[in-house]
Amino acid sequence: MNRIASDPLFSNTAGKTVGDVVFDFMRACGMDRIFGNPGSTELPMFADLPADISYVLGLQESIVVAMADAYAQVTRKAAFVNLHSAAGLGHALGNVYTAFRNRSPIVITTGQQTRELLPHDPFLFAESPTEFPKPYVKWAYEPARAQDVPAALARAYHMAMQPPRGPVMVSVPLGDWSQPAAPLEFRQVSTTFACDPHELEELARRLDAARKPVLVVGPGVDIDGAWDATVRLAEALQSRVWVSPLSSRCSFPERHPLFAGFLPAHQPALSESLARADFILVLGAPVFTYHFAGHGDHVPPGADLCLISDDPKQIAGAVAGRGLLGNIRLAAEDLLMRISPREALGENHSRIIPRLPERDGVTPEFFYQTLSDLRSKDSIIVEEAPTARDALHDFFPIERPGGFFATASGGLGYGLPAAVGAALTRPDAPVIAIIGDGSSLYSIQALWSAAEYGVDLLVVILNNGGYGALKGIARKSQARRVSGVDIGHLDFVSIAEAQGCRAARCASGRELRSCLRNLLDMKGPRVLEVILTEEN
């Protein structure tokens, strides 16, 4: 379905500028916020901004990209970002890479000097604007004429939304925004495609023949809206369900009787976890993601494997098995019509989550157990505390789609501003950010944006005095001493209060419950610094 010039959205176009037409297109796409950190080469864009389009300010460019990333993931719509020329894009590149790995649809515009100055190597000149962000944008372009800017942004939007979704970039010279422009048609473009039905029929036959099929679910399940269909497929197959290594989303209810746990990111432990399976169906994840080198087979001997994903790179890069390219929700729903449901055995394969007694200090495990007891089940969790990830898996089950977000890239500095972006989406769903002390310092000024926009956000900073994940890896490698992993003399309560957030500190396990309850009952942006101990 096409919108044409007679559509009210695009009527009265006489005298419209490039900026006017771009804002019309943004409205048609549902992009009513611009996440940015302003600079002189972008000034004409956000000067006299239309009243129905708001500007969300972050105090550094990587912060605005992370805010937009989570905003896009939660809303399932594209987010719009404006960055300052080459320097601003350079600041943002770490989180542009994270957005690429998160598969977040972000339309990025960067400023450029005026066209008449470009031949003269001017100040704030972006020498290679389309090459600079590659390969971590799906498309980058600088239009040859000012009049081409709206069409370039329209193409960028549709490319960002096509699976696998991801960031795109358009460089816009300073003077282009005020130039006259013709109206732009808005095209409705489908972004969902199905697997080959003949391949699905063969897959269903093989699943029916398997004695012990197993599912491995990755972030693609939640991205594709396939949570419910995946649960029904697992129940029909009576298959255990594992989460792919280092998954950035939750794709299966973690208290379900069929939930088996989280696959490790190394061999041979990964294959040993799947040892009883004779058929492994991987949904929306690489086969497989590793963090440490290992030895042995990628798949247990004698087991067959099939991967379903709408990401061609995942299909091409799989180390074993057959690959089916298509939307995971459509594939799971199709398989449900083709397979023969198995009789429920009444077995409960889910992990037993132990209960820890109250204690003097606060361990990651005790913290997650206490927060799990108290938090609203509708809350959205944004996590970037690598040292405590195992404790999160063991003591903090996630049970609904869209309820958990982490960085897919492993890069730090994403979680805190991402939580602010998530909190801008749904005032009715409280957001809880769980951030390591080292991680928080990459983007601590995101707290200013949280206070400025009054988001309903609880930030918990788990303070273990340094880069605990690196310390743990060093211990396993028998290192006697590691430099650069200790962080001291920081007062996170003062840092948070200075930026306009209420803040408190807790170092006692016996006070943790009351501290968390008090802050969870509040509204607005607030911070709790939790001093961790190594007590067992």
Nearest of 390, 435, 381, 382 to residue 245 by alpha carbon: 390
Q: Pick the catalytic residue: 39, 111, 220, 438?
A: 39
Is 449 among the catalytic positions?
no
Who contacts 481 (Cβ-Cβ below 8 Å, separation ≥6)?
none
383 vs 250: CA distance, rounded Å: 12
Kindly report the backbone phi and psi dihedral angles of residue 461, in degrees, each rounded to the nearest multiple of 5, phi listed first: -100, 115
CB atoms within 10 A of CB 19: 23
Asked whether 100 and 137 are in contact (CB, 8 A), the reply is yes
Taking residues 335-362, what's their average pLDDT?
85
Residue-wise burial string across 398-417, b where 16 or more C-beta atoms lie within 10 A, e elsewhere? beebbbbbbbbbebbbbbbb
Pairing of strands 2-3, 186-187: antiparallel
Is pLDDT of 446 > 70? yes
pLDDT per residue as tens digits for the range 24-55:
999 999 999 999 998 888 888 888 899 999 99
pLDDT for residue 5: 37
- The tens digit of pLDDT for each residue in 356-379 reads 999 899 999 999 999 999 999 899
Report the Cα 288 to chain-centroid distance in Å: 19
Give percent helix, percent strand, percent coil of the chain, each to the nearest 5: 35, 20, 45
Q: Catalytic: 40?
A: yes
The string of pLDDT tens digits covering residues 147-190 is 999 999 999 999 999 999 999 999 999 999 999 999 998 899 99
Residue 1: its pLDDT value, please? 33
Cα–Cα distance measured from residue 76 to residue 70, given in angstroms and rounded to the nearest whole number: 9
Radius of gyration (C-alpha) of the chain in whole angstroms:
24
pLDDT attached to residue 468 = 52
Residue carrying structure tokens 């408190």: 504
The bridge status of strand 2-3 relative to strand 140-141 is unpaired
CB 393 within 8 A of CB 365: no
Q: What is the DSSP string of 300-339?
A: -TT-EEEEEES-HHHHHH-SSSEEEES-HHHHHHHHHHHS
Q: Is 84 a catalytic residue?
A: yes
Percent above pLDDT 70 for the chain: 92
- Token readout for 77 is 């719509």
Tokens of 364: 């990651």
Q: Residue 275's pLDDT band (boundaries 50, 70, 90)? A: very high
For the chain, helix (H) and strand (E) counts, in that order, are 19, 20
Q: In the annotation, is 91 catalytic? A: no
Question: How far is Cα 380 from Cα 454, in angstroms, rounded to an integer?
Answer: 17
| CA dist., res. 22 & res. 173, Å (int) | 14
- 39: annotated active-site residue: yes
> Considering only CA atoms, which of 378, 377, 364, 376 is closest in space to residue 460?
364
Query: Is 343 among the catalytic positions?
Result: no
pLDDT given at position 40? 83
Residue pLDDT, tens place only, 422-444: 999 977 789 999 999 999 999 99
Active-site choice (294, 321, 410, 465): 410
Contact 187, 2 (CB under 8 A): yes
Residues 332-347 have a mean pLDDT of 91
Exactly one of 11, 40, 128, 494 is catalytic; name it: 40
pLDDT 10s digits, 105-147: 999 999 988 888 888 888 778 889 999 999 999 999 999 999 9
84, 309, 365, 509: the active-site residue? 84
Select which of 19, 36, 42, 468 is catalytic. 42
Token couple for 346: 């009444």
pTM of the full predicted structure?
A: 0.92
DSSP structure string for 190-245: ----PPPHHHHHHHHHHHHH-SSEEEEE-HHHHHTT-HHHHHHHHHHHT-EEEEPT
Q: Among residues 11, 116, 201, 291, which one is catalytic?
A: 291
Mind listing the domains of the chain with CATH numbers? 2-187 (3.40.50.970), 197-338 (3.40.50.1220), 364-531 (3.40.50.970)
